[in-house]
Amino acid sequence: MSSRKLKGSRTCIWLANLDAKVGRSRGRKIPRELAVPKPTLKEVVEAAKELGLDPIVEEGKSYPKSWWQHKGRVLVKKVDSKTNTLRAVARKILENREKLKREPSTVQV
């Protein structure tokens, strides 16, 4: 399904919207203290799934302010304002990163 058909029912999340390393002028939409350092597409998709936002991944898409980087984007169900959705996704990503840190690694020797 094309993203044009989804317009109005979905919110577009670009990695730059959540990245603590990106300035507001380059695309970050939430405060730096709530943002995630270097989020990945996989992390955004996982967080969106856990929040029940029914994510659709579009790999290879370029954020207009950094058109040379083809990092992709995630379209999620519109349930709240974009800012509140971004805050929830960022919070969930940080939560998931903390869980990974706390879990003992199961490396076999």
**25-77 pLDDT tens trace:** 999 999 999 999 999 999 999 999 999 999 999 999 988 888 888 889 999 99
Are 18 and 30 within 8 A, CB to CB?
A: yes
How far is the C-alpha of 71 from the C-alpha of 58, rounded, in Å? Answer: 9
pTM of the entire structure? 0.84
Distance, CA of 54 to CA of 72 (rounded, Å)? 16
Helices (H) and strands (E) in the chain, counts: 3, 3
Question: Please, what are the domains in the chain?
Answer: 10-102 (3.30.56.30)
Contact assessment for residue 58 and residue 45, using Cβ atoms and an 8 Å cutoff = no
Q: Note the Cα 104 to chain centre separation in Å.
A: 26
pLDDT attached to residue 10: 94
Rounded alpha-carbon distances, angstroms, from residue 78 to 8, 10, 89, 94: 8, 5, 13, 21
